Structure 1
Amino acid sequence: MAGVPLRVEILRAGEEHVEQIARLAESRSLNRPDGTPGSVEGGFLVSAYSEADYRARLETAEHFYVAVKGGQVLAFLLAYSSDRVEPDEWLNRRIKTTLGNFLVIKQICVAQDAARGGIASMLYYHVLDQWDESPVIAAVVNDPPNDASARFHHKLGFQELTRLTPPDGLPRVVWVWRKPREAMLHAQYGIAVDLYKHEDNLNWQKLNNFFYITAGLAAATAFCLGKEGAGGSLGKGLAMIIAVIGIGVSLGFSLMLRFGRQYLLARKEAVIDLEEYMAWHGGERIVNRRTDDPRSAYLKVSPTGAIMMLLPVLVAACWLAVLGVLIAD
């Protein structure tokens, strides 16, 4: 009907699309046939297949789709299961041997003038909605860094699985997407919460032990300098040694608490990620509740952790002052 804008359609790739697919792949290839380097802006293919290769994949690939608008191929996606991996695909064969079956998204390519229009996401979701037999992976070349592809996969829920360098010398980042398993996520949520509580308790135990050690060192210093202690130059020398130990202990505990805080925040982030999924399915946010409120920034990163790190630093400054007094005396 006249005046109605054409819509993008996702179709199974056919013989009539092969020529356009090959041209599109060549236009976004990093290594073009004429030897000129391709642009890396907005993502790229390491190399394009020939028309014959794409034609052969029409029969062998379980998922080979094109995004078409008005008869023009704007994008295509080629994916197939690990059962159809070719003998020369070193990376895919290694992953299958190590981890088991998967679906590999071998190529995703969008025309330059259709980029950032959501077409790549449409193609991905078209595949992900149909596939639930095994994880879905995508190997992205990381030299030069394919930042656009990395952002894209992260946005779609992919996670970085590993980094490998095949015999061709081009390092790859392997991204993986797995369909959520609710029972497994519930179990993992319990483990994540336990780890979060463990890190929190561990930090308080560190601080508690620090105060015990500091109290002991302070008592030893007072004894060395008191009448009932060694007294004189010997007592003063022992007190200086204890002060140096106190400085080292304080700085050491401050460092331990700093890393303990980082571990705690990492565990908290894991709990929040799981809560987001559960909230989508009707659960309530607990750890992540009200963190979007600008007035509740402390709920994201509690100032208590910073105070815990600063306390040993302040004690170290006190020990330094004691050492200075002993040296000056």
Structure 2
Amino acid sequence: MSAPGGERIEIVRATQEHVPKILELARSRSLQGADPAAASQEGFLVSEYTEEVYRAQVVRAEHFYVAVKGPDVLAFLLAYSDERIEQDEWLNRRIKTTLGSFLVIKQVCVARDAARQGVASLLYHHVLEQWTSSPVIAAVVSEPPNQASTRFHRKLGFEELTRLRPPDGRLRTVWVWRKPRESMLQAQYAIAVDLYKHEDNTNWNKLTNFLYITAGLAATLAFVLGKDGAQSEGVARGIGVIITVVGFASALAFAVMLRFGRRYLQARKSAVVDLEEHMAWHGGQRIVGRQVADPGAAWLHSSPTGLVMMLLPAFVSLCWVAMLAVLIAA
């Protein structure tokens, strides 16, 4: 990878000579003494490792790499397998009891002047290309939220596994990366599509039922207020008020149901699109997610039909309110 200025960024195994610069880089990203709001956006470290710890990890860790450009250390990544976990690593031992074997990315840190240049991704891919035998995890601090790290792991295809609070009191979100298994992706895709279709059909059924109920109430109201309806005008008006109130309540209820039904549908659609993104890397084609990112294709993210479906009951509820006002004023 070529860096600005023409020099090439190289990923090399960390050595004892790199440790002073690694320590300096880690301290520059420490949460201690930093503004939490700024650190949340830029990323931070909470493990206050000493020089002795880094020197020991140079020898001990299976994956300890630095990104260098000439004599400068731009970033480093420290990772090791569950076999190298220390006794005092409560979080990793807790994960091991459930997940089994894994590789933990303990620290990744990029110099501020090298941020947003793909250096961290370069380090991660260097590790992920080598490690295929078991899941790769990364525990990201959630208090305060490390939003930069969260965005980064999502971008690389990590999924949220769980949230745990170690003895240090800081909540961690544990992210996991697994080598995709095509058979599992296909099975999950079929389930995701079925759920998407189910939510879509459910919304249309809700709208159909709403129209039936509205038509029935409107016909009943017309009959009651007509010449063949109730003999007493007062009785007819009273029944009419009851019908309009029921109609308004029905329209309001369906408006709420369709609003949240539309949200559920969008969530199911997002799940399908995410799975298609994974499958596209393994020979699949984007179907639901096709052209979503194209200019002028914002309507593909959220169908206007869904908006009309949601607004129709709201409009009908206003009509019922207007009818109620007419009956009361008459």
Give the TM-score normalised by the residue count of structure 2: 0.88
Q: Find the residue that maps to 2:65 and give its secondary structure.
A: strand
CA distance in 1, matches of 2:285, 2:112: 42
Give the aligned partner of residue 63 of structure 1. Answer: 63
**Number of residue pairs matched by the alignment:** 322
Give the aligned partner of residue 120 of structure 1. Answer: 120
> Does the 8 Å contact 1:30/1:47 carry over to 2?
no
Residue 323 of structure 1 aligns to which amino acid in structure 2? L
Residue 96 (structure 1) aligned with residue 96 (structure 2): yes
Aligned-residue CA RMSD (Å) = 2.3
> Does the 8 Å contact 1:101/1:135 carry over to 2?
yes
CA distance in 1, matches of 2:284, 2:29: 44
Residue 103 of structure 2 aligns to which amino acid in structure 1? L
Give the aligned partner of residue 290 of structure 1. Answer: 291
Give the aligned partner of residue 181 of structure 1. Answer: 181
Query: Residues 318 and 172 (structure 1 numbering): CA distance in 2 closer, same or farther, change over 3 Å?
Result: same
Residue 249 (structure 1) aligned with residue 250 (structure 2): yes
Query: Residues 286 and 83 (structure 1 numbering): CA distance in 2 closer, same or farther, change over 3 Å?
Result: same
Q: Write the deviation string for residues 148-181 of structure 1: whole angstroms up to 9, x where unpaired.
A: 2222222222233333332212222222222211
Give the aligned partner of residue 25 of structure 1. Answer: 26
CA distance in 1, matches of 2:80, 2:124: 13
Give the aligned partner of residue 136 of structure 1. Answer: 136
Unaligned runs of 5+ in 1: none
Aligned-pair distance for 1:139? 1.4
Aligned-pair distance for 1:244? 0.8
Give the aligned partner of residue 328 of structure 2. Answer: 327
> Does the 8 Å contact 2:23/2:50 carry over to 1?
yes
CA distance in 2, matches of 1:117, 1:291: 26
Residue 318 of structure 1 aligns to which amino acid in structure 2? C
CA distance in 2, matches of 1:20, 1:314: 65
CA distance in 2, matches of 1:49, 1:295: 49
Q: How does 1:152-171 map to 2 (within 5 A)?
A: 152-171=152-171
Give the aligned partner of residue 16 of structure 2. Answer: 15
> Does the 8 Å contact 2:206/2:254 carry over to 1?
yes
Query: Residues 192 and 111 (structure 1 numbering): CA distance in 2 closer, same or farther, change over 3 Å?
Result: same
> Does the 8 Å contact 1:142/1:170 carry over to 2?
yes
Give the aligned partner of residue 43 of structure 1. Answer: 43
Aligned-pair distance for 1:52? 1.6
Residue 156 of structure 1 aligns to which amino acid in structure 2? L
> Does the 8 Å contact 1:22/1:48 carry over to 2?
no
Q: Find the residue that maps to 2:130 and give its secondary structure.
A: coil
Give the aligned partner of residue 216 of structure 1. Answer: 216
CA distance in 2, matches of 1:47, 1:214: 62
Residue 276 of structure 2 aligns to which amino acid in structure 1? E
CA distance in 2, matches of 1:151, 1:194: 29
Give the aligned partner of residue 314 of structure 1. Answer: 315
Aligned-pair distance for 1:230? 6.1
Unaligned runs of 5+ in 2: none
Give the aligned partner of residue 236 of structure 1. Answer: 237
Residue 201 of structure 2 aligns to which amino acid in structure 1? N
Give the aligned partner of residue 204 of structure 2. Answer: 204
Residue 76 of structure 2 aligns to which amino acid in structure 1? F
CA distance in 2, matches of 1:178, 1:241: 59
Residue 10 of structure 2 aligns to which amino acid in structure 1? E
CA distance in 1, matches of 2:100, 2:246: 53
Query: Residues 257 and 230 (structure 1 numbering): CA distance in 2 closer, same or farther, change over 3 Å?
Result: farther
Q: Write the deviation string for residues 236-256 of structure 1: whole angstroms up to 9, x where unpaired.
A: 212211211110110110111
Give the TM-score normalised by the residue count of structure 1: 0.88
